[in-house]
Amino acid sequence: MQSEIIKSEVGIIVEESDYLSIAKLCRYCSLSAESILHMVELGVIDPVDTSVSYSHWQFSNTSVLRAQAALRLQRDLGVNLAGAALALELLDEIKQLRQQVSYLQR
């Protein structure tokens, strides 16, 4: 099969991109607003400011990655959303500790 060369694509740093509206987050994750609300309830993702009504909620761009990872864990491992949230939190902690270990080992 032939591989196709595509011109240079410019990447955007997800962690430093502008906030997303709840509507955009729904679209990027192919999820309903109810599912997003459920994820917020269980702490999988957090809106930037919860004092505004949920239709005005804004999310960091990393929420897309997090919500998708939660869905994959749910689908592939048979855990519920609360379990997926726990797994993601522990994975974050492991990642941080690994970074610290490799920093200290040098």
Binding site for other proteins (CB under 8 A): 1, 3-17, 27-28, 30, 61-62, 64-65, 68-69, 72-73, 75-78, 87, 91, 95, 99, 102-103, 106
- Indicate the residue among 20 and 40 with the shorter CB distance to other proteins: 20
The least distance separating other proteins from the CB of residue 40, rounded to whole angstroms, comes to: 20
* Contact residues for 16 (Cβ-Cβ < 8 A; gap 6+): none
The least distance separating other proteins from the CB of residue 27, rounded to whole angstroms, comes to: 7
The least distance separating other proteins from the CB of residue 53, rounded to whole angstroms, comes to: 27
Cross-strand pairs, 58: 21
Tell me the chain's radius of gyration from C-alpha atoms: 17
CA 74 to centroid of chain Cα atoms: 14
Beta strands (DSSP E) in 16-71 are: 20-21, 58-59
